[in-house]
Amino acid sequence: MKGAEAEALAATWLTQQGREILRRNYRIPGGEIDIVSRDAAGRLHFTEVRWRTRQTHGSAAESVTPRKLALMHRAALSYLTRELGRDDVACSLEVLTLQGSLHSGEWQLWPVTP
């Protein structure tokens, strides 16, 4: 349940940054996007949310594996083609991390480069 709480707080944080939340937990077989949002310029963002209270097993950002990124890319492409009917929309993949306490930790946005 804590992961769902972190995702809800992440959606709130993204909204405060000027994003419109379009979808949460978009799933396809073998892949998922935690949050799909749109910024003021109309660009879509596919966001993976990661939360770590401690860095004992690495930071929140370090927990995103190349395999997870590949599955995110696949799910994002599916969203574009199934939900929008096209794959030439300006968009990006990103990881939004929360390090520390759920309610007082530090949020950081990490763009994913192909």
98 compared with 22, residue with greater pLDDT: 22
Average pLDDT of the segment spanning 17-33: 95
Domain ranges within the chain, ordered by starting residue? 2-43+53-112
The phi, psi pair for 42, rounded to 5°, reads 90, 0
The sign of the torsion formed by the CA atoms of 3, 6, 12, 18 equals negative
8 pLDDT band, cuts 50/70/90, is very high
pLDDT of 102: 77
Name which CATH class applies to 2-43+53-112.
Answer: alpha beta
pLDDT of 104: 80
Q: Is pLDDT of 114 > 70?
A: no
Q: Is pLDDT of 1 > 70?
A: no
pLDDT digit string, tens, across residues 34-93: 999 999 999 999 999 998 777 666 677 777 888 989 999 999 999 999 999 998 999 999
Q: Is pLDDT of 4 > 60?
A: yes
pLDDT of 51: 85
Q: What angle do CA 23, 25, 27 make, to 5 degrees?
A: 110
